[in-house]
Structure 1
Amino acid sequence: MAPRMERFVSPGKGNGLRSTARIKRGELVYSAEPLASCVSNRLARDVCHRCFTRRETLLRCSQCKTARYCNATCQKQAWSSHKRECKCLQNLLPRIPTDSVRLAARLIFALLKTSKGSSEELYTLEEHESHLNSMSEQKEQGLSQLASMLEMYLQPEIPDLAQEMTSALPSSCQEPLSLIAKVTCNCFTISDAELQEIGVGLYPSLSLLNHDCRPNCVMVFEGTKLQLRAVRDINPEEELTISYIETLSLTEDRQSQLEDQYHFTCHCQRCDSQDKDGLMLSGEEATWRLLKEALPRLEGQKADSDWQALLQSCSHLLSTVGGDVPDENLYKLRMTDMALDASIHLGHWEEALRYGEQTLPGYRQYFPDPHPVHGVQLMRVGKLQHYLEHDEDALDTFKQAFHIMKLTHGDDHPLTTDLLMKMEECRAEMDQQSSSSH
């Protein structure tokens, strides 16, 4: 397949990627396996370290007791990239290095294994930005600690890291600090079908993609394979963009996150026009401020998986204060989403469905282009409707989800095929009901 994209210098943004042909929305622009990737520490027990599938039970590596696999096949296939890491992990036990340190180490092992100059990438690691010169002192100190951790972690396998890096790595990556900075600035979050974060990976060519708060492309994953798809029609030579962050937030919050994490100020059309900010803050400020102020505490309960307390807090606030705030208000929408999560975890299906349906008008307004987040939300609500035997509603919701996902995920993504099966089940059940009622 001829490449659909090429590098160019994007005015005011530095390097970028643009299309070389007309691309229709829903088309796959590019797909890539990572140069290096690793499962997030938070999920190290729940996700296979080879294929990134979630499973109830996984085999544990008997030596480092950290890596876990679906079965012996995954374990065998992973050994060539796990072998050196395994010794390093054993040496640090019971401590486990952070995700970025593990990713940087895997990157170094991968680079030491491949010969120089064999890269097919549009953008080499050498060229990646480290942004060290524009970082706050505090942030640079944090990265220096990670760089020392990396040296200590690699000690059993690469005793003289500096020397080894000098001989094997491109000059701009030879300092552990600059390598760690490049990794943290350029890695992508790998997510599962439900868009929950499961790991991090480096996809060098795709680091060229610039950010837009209303991008013309989205990224979805199948295992660790990244797929870049167009969500709008794109003309030849038009710049390809993705969103680096969750876009469902106010302009000033998006801007400060981009400044802090990626060191630039966004001047996209959404930011310049502050599009949707008015809608996100709809209702009386005195009322929704109470919801906004409660969110950090609720996010803490969610992080601790304290579902009972979370549901109690959300439902209390939504019924006392929430009634006077429009459903599209950003803080009410976030809280309703948390109530949905908590209800699902506790198996309160009717309550979950009520919260889920309440979020959909907001999602429809905030994601005017097909977006994986909107598709997955529709799918969750459809599954609840189906489970509670509201088959007609479920079929309708699944159809809306399919309309989005065939564009964001493509026809052959496992999630899309799962969705088609659900639609068939609904139809079969409705046929059965109508024939039994005659």
Structure 2
Amino acid sequence: MPPKLKRFVSPGKGNGLRATVRIRRGELVYSAEPLACCVSNKLARDVCHHCFSRRENLLRCSQCKMARYCNTTCQKQAWCGHKTECKCLKSLRPRVPTDSVRLAARLIFALLSPSKSSSEELYTLEEHESHLSSMSENKKQGLSQLASMLELYVQQEVPDLAQEGASALPPSCRDPLSLIAKVTCNCFTISDGELQEIGVGLYPSLSLLNHDCWPNCVMVFVGTKLQLRAVRDINPEEELTISYIETLSSTEERRRQLEDQYHFTCRCQHCDSQDKDGLMLSGHKSTWDPLKEALPRLEGLKAESDWQALLEGCSHLLSTVGCDVSDENVYKLRMTDMAADACIHLGHWEEAVGYGEKTLPVYSQYYPDPHPVHGVQLVRVAKLQHYLERIEDALDTFKQAYRIIKLTHGDDHPMTAQLLMKMEECRAEMVQFNSR
């Protein structure tokens, strides 16, 4: 089968990818395994370091004490890639390198391994941009610290990246600072079916994809395999785009994040028209500003899993603003979402479904279907409805989710299979109830 995409020079953006044939929405455009990947440090105890599945009671590597695996099969299959990393982790213990340092090191080990080849890639690592010339001195200083950590981390296996032992690396990848910069600018967050972060990976060809705040493609993962799917019909020669960031924010905030992280100013139609800003920032600024100001503190509580304090903070602020701030206001929506998260972790199911249901009409406005974020939110609410034995509501919500997920994730994704099973459960329970 001929490829559905090809590399080209995108005006004003540099390199890009465009379609070679007509692509229907929901169609798989491209899939790729990572050149290098690693589980996020914050989930190192909960996710298998080989297949990236969430599991309880994972087996721990007896040498480095960090890597964990589903079973001996995963452990044996991972050993070829882990054995070098294992020595480096042991040498640095009890310190643990950051995700970006571990990913850069895994990339070095992969490139130095004769079994690993990137000859089929559309975009070589040498071509990847580091963006060092456009970075602030503060950011360069932060990356320099990471580069020093990288050198320390790999020194037992690669004593000097610039010397003969690393000659198999592309020249720019022998400079630790340049390599760290390339990794941070070009890596992808690996997520599970419900879009929760589990790791980071490098997929060189897909680094060619340019950003759009309303893209025509989305990325989902099956384990570490990245799948690029169309969410709109795409014509031959049309550019393929993804969103680099979570788009649930105002134009000003999106542009600031893209400039800080990816070093460009977004000029997509969504940004230039600022078409959703009026809705996202609805209400008087003096009324919703306390919500905006409180978000960093509340996000900190969420990161620390302090669910009780998070719920108290969110519920107090939401009750304070009441109807003076519409549900469409983006800061109120984020706070409502966090309140639902807190309730789920605390087992407050009725309260959780109330918060969740309040978000659904707003999600449908901000995430044009089919969008995986809207689909996953529907799944989350449907599971709560099902647990509370609101079977008809749950079935209807699961159906809405399925119509989205089958397009964004594909028919063969575990998430799609799970949804079909949930709908069958609801139907069986309704039959059983009606037969009483």
TM range (shorter): over 0.9
- Assess, with a 3 A threshold, how the Cα gap between structure 1 residues 430 and 164 changes in structure 2: closer, same or farther: farther
When structure 1 is superposed on structure 2, of 135-144 and 202-211 the one drifting more is 135-144
Cα deviation for residue 160 of structure 1 reads 2.7
Partner residue in 1 for 2:327: 327
1:48 aligns to 2:48 (yes or no): yes
Alpha-carbon distance in 2 for matches of 1:281, 1:129: 35
Q: Is the 8 A contact 1:53 1:223 kept in 2?
A: yes
Partner residue in 1 for 2:271: 271
- RMSD, matched Cα: 1.2
Partner residue in 2 for 1:228: 228
Q: Is the 8 A contact 1:302 1:310 kept in 2?
A: yes
Alpha-carbon distance in 1 for matches of 2:118, 2:303: 43
Q: How does 1:81-96 map to 2 (within 5 A)?
A: 81-96=81-96
Partner residue in 2 for 1:424: 424
1:18-64 deviations in Å (ceiling 9; x for gaps): 00000000000001100000001111111110011111211100000
Partner residue in 2 for 1:19: 19
Partner residue in 2 for 1:202: 202
Partner residue in 2 for 1:172: 172
Q: Is the 8 A contact 2:7 2:17 kept in 1?
A: yes
Cα deviation for residue 255 of structure 1 reads 0.2
> TM-score under structure 1 normalisation?
0.98
Q: How does 1:59-74 map to 2 (within 5 A)?
A: 59-74=59-74
Q: Is the 8 A contact 1:357 1:381 kept in 2?
A: yes
Partner residue in 2 for 1:134: 134
Unaligned segments of structure 2, at least 5 residues: none
Residue 190 of structure 1 aligns to a residue whose secondary structure is strand
Partner residue in 1 for 2:109: 109
1:80 aligns to 2:85 (yes or no): no
Cα deviation for residue 166 of structure 1 reads 4.9
When structure 1 is superposed on structure 2, of 287-296 and 212-221 the one drifting more is 287-296
- Assess, with a 3 A threshold, how the Cα gap between structure 1 residues 321 and 108 changes in structure 2: closer, same or farther: same
Residue 162 of structure 1 aligns to a residue whose secondary structure is coil
1:250 aligns to 2:250 (yes or no): yes
Partner residue in 1 for 2:379: 379
Q: Is the 8 A contact 1:165 1:174 kept in 2?
A: no
Q: How does 1:349-428 map to 2 (within 5 A)?
A: 349-428=349-428
Alpha-carbon distance in 1 for matches of 2:421, 2:31: 25
Cα deviation for residue 143 of structure 1 reads 1.1
> TM-score under structure 2 normalisation?
0.98
When structure 1 is superposed on structure 2, of 292-301 and 98-107 the one drifting more is 292-301
Partner residue in 1 for 2:182: 182
Give the letter for the 2:427 counterpart: R
Alpha-carbon distance in 2 for matches of 1:330, 1:158: 48
Q: Is the 8 A contact 1:372 1:405 kept in 2?
A: yes
Alpha-carbon distance in 2 for matches of 1:223, 1:115: 21
Alpha-carbon distance in 2 for matches of 1:375, 1:304: 27
Residue 402 of structure 1 aligns to a residue whose secondary structure is helix
Residue 130 of structure 2 aligns to a residue whose secondary structure is coil
Give the letter for the 1:129 counterpart: E
Q: Is the 8 A contact 2:158 2:165 kept in 1?
A: no
Alpha-carbon distance in 1 for matches of 2:176, 2:239: 33
Partner residue in 1 for 2:343: 343
Cα deviation for residue 320 of structure 1 reads 2.3
Partner residue in 2 for 1:238: 238
Cα deviation for residue 116 of structure 1 reads 8.9
- Assess, with a 3 A threshold, how the Cα gap between structure 1 residues 273 and 374 changes in structure 2: closer, same or farther: same
Identity %: 82
Give the letter for the 1:395 counterpart: L
Residue 226 of structure 1 aligns to a residue whose secondary structure is strand
Residue 168 of structure 1 aligns to a residue whose secondary structure is coil
Residue 6 of structure 2 aligns to a residue whose secondary structure is strand
1:181-216 deviations in Å (ceiling 9; x for gaps): 111110000011221111100000000000000000
Q: Is the 8 A contact 2:41 2:98 kept in 1?
A: yes
Cα deviation for residue 69 of structure 1 reads 0.5
Q: Is the 8 A contact 2:161 2:175 kept in 1?
A: no
- Assess, with a 3 A threshold, how the Cα gap between structure 1 residues 165 and 277 changes in structure 2: closer, same or farther: farther
Cα deviation for residue 433 of structure 1 reads 1.3
Cα deviation for residue 289 of structure 1 reads 1.3
Q: Is the 8 A contact 2:111 2:117 kept in 1?
A: no
Give the letter for the 2:428 counterpart: A
